[in-house]
Structure 1
């Protein structure tokens, strides 16, 4: 039933989400580039005066292999699954969205079965894909890095929720608006990014695309 999606999100709403940047002592052992990722993403978000709209650049569909397209498209599930809990207010107020997301329910349950899933997937994508140019094309590594940066930015709404956590009034209204905005952005990024990749185009998301470019050799 569609309501099972809300039950899944509610059951894990208060579970601590392990993120590679939640504990500062994880920075040095990983990599200087990985250490600077959060700073790069935050600087791009704060300092960009001209925010580019969501665009996709054709890479020459015949030059992008089917495997590269599928791998890149699948990567856009990562930040959405990691931030799907921000849609709890939208799913409550607009039940039809539950039907739209119903096919993703098994993936959501699997992803949220352990608080370490996101962290392990982060490490796998970064070290096995982004830092492995001999095995993956730049197209795959750019898209992978783009979703990683997008996931890193989820730190900010997560910290706001943990810091303020209003129970009612204007504060709760603002929190609901923030969560809903984050959810819709992740949903649009999933649809747009995966569709563009399947078509052999290069999706460039606002803010995160520039940060991803700086991380790809």
Structure 2
């Protein structure tokens, strides 16, 4: 009986602090759920990193970043301003909106290589250069580039069909005028939003730009 009582007292006696080790509780996931949980944590870390870099904040973009991003939206507009020839001929007051950009349009159209050279400069020197430019600048630059790439489709319609009269010409005029108005609205919206320090998201273009910019 003495031995049993002594062993009972030994079990009930408190252990010294040196023998206790604190082990924090960790969530236990089944092995088949581990890849999904890790991916969810990585996605959460990416969202936090983007938030810190000013992707969604209105006041987080510095003034130089806002100006550079706003200027980038001139690129697709200058490359597609020729789509507005029918609309400008029918509604001359719209020329007042285009008049301030006349010097830039003449400079842009001075050489057929200018659009391609500007494309290479914006893509490789800005979008693919995270060490020199913030994600805010690279995202807006990529959005302007994607918008310019989409101009290939109306260009192909004009070159392959090129109707001179009839219903075909009416269709081409409608397409060109729609493209021009979309470029004009995109430039005004994108540049104004960037100058305010916010993030413009153009339809179709925004998701493609997000996938390209890390």
Which of 169, 187, 194 aligns to 1:190? It is 187
Q: Deviations over 1:156-210 (max 9, x none)?
A: 0000000000000000000000000000000000000000000001000000111
Whether contact under 8 Å (1:59, 1:200) holds in the other structure is no
Give the 5 Å matches for 1:172-211: 172-211=169-208
Mapped to 2, the partners of 1:149 and 1:143 lie a distance apart of: 10
Q: Gaps (5+ residues) in structure 2?
A: 1-53
1:103 aligned residue: 100
Contact 2:143 2:206 in 1 (8 A): yes
Partner deviation per Cα, 1:109-138 (whole Å, 9 max, x = no partner) = 000000000000000000000000000000
Deviates more, 1:94-103 or 1:187-196: 94-103
Distance in 1, Cα, partners of 2:125 & 2:76: 17
CA contact (8 A) 1:78 1:147 kept: yes
Q: 2:25 aligned with 1:63, yes or no? A: no
Distance apart, 1:58 and its partner CA: 8.0
Normalised by the length of structure 2, the TM-score is 0.74
Corresponding residue pairs, total: 161
Higher relative contact order (CA 8 A, sep 6+): 1
Q: 1:1-217 alignment to 2 at 5 Å? A: 59-217=56-214
- Say if 1:58 and 1:200, in contact at 8 Å, map to a contact too: no
Give the superposed CA RMSD: 1.2
CA distance in 1, matches of 2:74, 2:61: 20
TM-score (norm 1): 0.73
Spell out structure 1 runs of 4+ moving beyond 3 A.
Answer: none
Residue 99 of structure 1 and its aligned partner are, at CA, apart by 1.4
* Residue segments in structure 1 that go unaligned for 5+ positions in a row: 1-56
Residue 73 of structure 2 contacts residue 191 of structure 2 at CA under 8 Å; is this kept in 1? yes
